[in-house]
């Protein structure tokens, strides 16, 4: 929601896509811009910044580094989502359009987007999240007009994150809902 409030053009484009009579789970799966927004949000703001450590089962070489057998390996999901060699020249910018027409998905088939981990140790909540996040976001955007309290400028919203077991905004987002007219 913070990214949508900061990017009114993206919010308006999503609203146009949501002008359907009923948004259910099957319909949400067929809305490309809604799903692009979810992927872009999970890229920039993954639920966890570091995946639990894994142990190397054998020695290997990766990018000119030798990883010895038995070494603990931690994957930094937050850094992968901001890697300029993967995400063009401006990886810190919220641009859902980068996922339109892309086959990149967060179900660990594409290792540049792994907010829920991958393989046998993937987050067991991923299937539920993959269904609910688009539905909840669609309902919030479609049924309410959102505004910031005290005429705060959306460009000045604090986007700093608090690192911990789960990633969260340092300062919580506060919005005022008003019933939508469409």
Binding-site annotation, residues for heme: 123
Contact in structure between 28 and 134 (CB atoms under 8 Å): yes
Annotated binding site: 123
Could you tell me what percentage of the chain is helix, strand and coil, using 3-state DSSP and rounding each to the nearest 5? 35, 15, 50
Contact in structure between 118 and 106 (CB atoms under 8 Å): no
* Six-digit token string for 39: 């992927």
What is the C-alpha to C-alpha distance for residues 20 and 23, in angstroms, rounded to an integer?
Answer: 7
> 13 Cβ partners below 8 Å, 6+ apart?
33
Chain CA centroid to CA 35, Å: 10
What is the C-alpha to C-alpha distance for residues 122 and 108, in angstroms, rounded to an integer?
Answer: 8
What is the C-alpha to C-alpha distance for residues 130 and 107, in angstroms, rounded to an integer?
Answer: 9
Q: Going by DSSP bridges, is the β-strand pair 72-73/144-147 parallel, antiparallel, or unpaired?
A: unpaired
């Amino acid at each position: 929601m913070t990214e949508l409030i900061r990017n009114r053009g993206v919010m308006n484009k999503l609203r146009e896509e949501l002008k359907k009579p009923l948004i259910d789970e099957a319909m949400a799966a067929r809305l490309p811009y809604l799903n692009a927004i979810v992927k872009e949000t999970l890229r920039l703001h993954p639920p966890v910044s570091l995946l639990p450590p894994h142990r190397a089962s054998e020695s290997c070489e990766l990018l000119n580094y030798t990883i010895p057998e038995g070494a603990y390996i931690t994957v930094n999901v937050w850094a992968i989502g901001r890697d300029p060699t993967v995400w063009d020249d401006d990886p810190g910018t919220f641009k859902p359009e980068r996922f339109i027409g892309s086959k990149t998905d967060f179900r660990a088939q594409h290792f540049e987007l792994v907010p829920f981990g991958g393989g046998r140790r993937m987050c067991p909540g991923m299937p539920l999240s993959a269904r609910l996040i688009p539905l909840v976001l669609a309902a919030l955007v479609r049924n309410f007009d959102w505004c910031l309290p005290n005429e705060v400028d959306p460009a000045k919203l604090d986007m700093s994150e608090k690192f911990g077991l789960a990633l969260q905004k340092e300062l919580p987002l506060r919005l005022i809902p008003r019933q939508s007219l469409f």
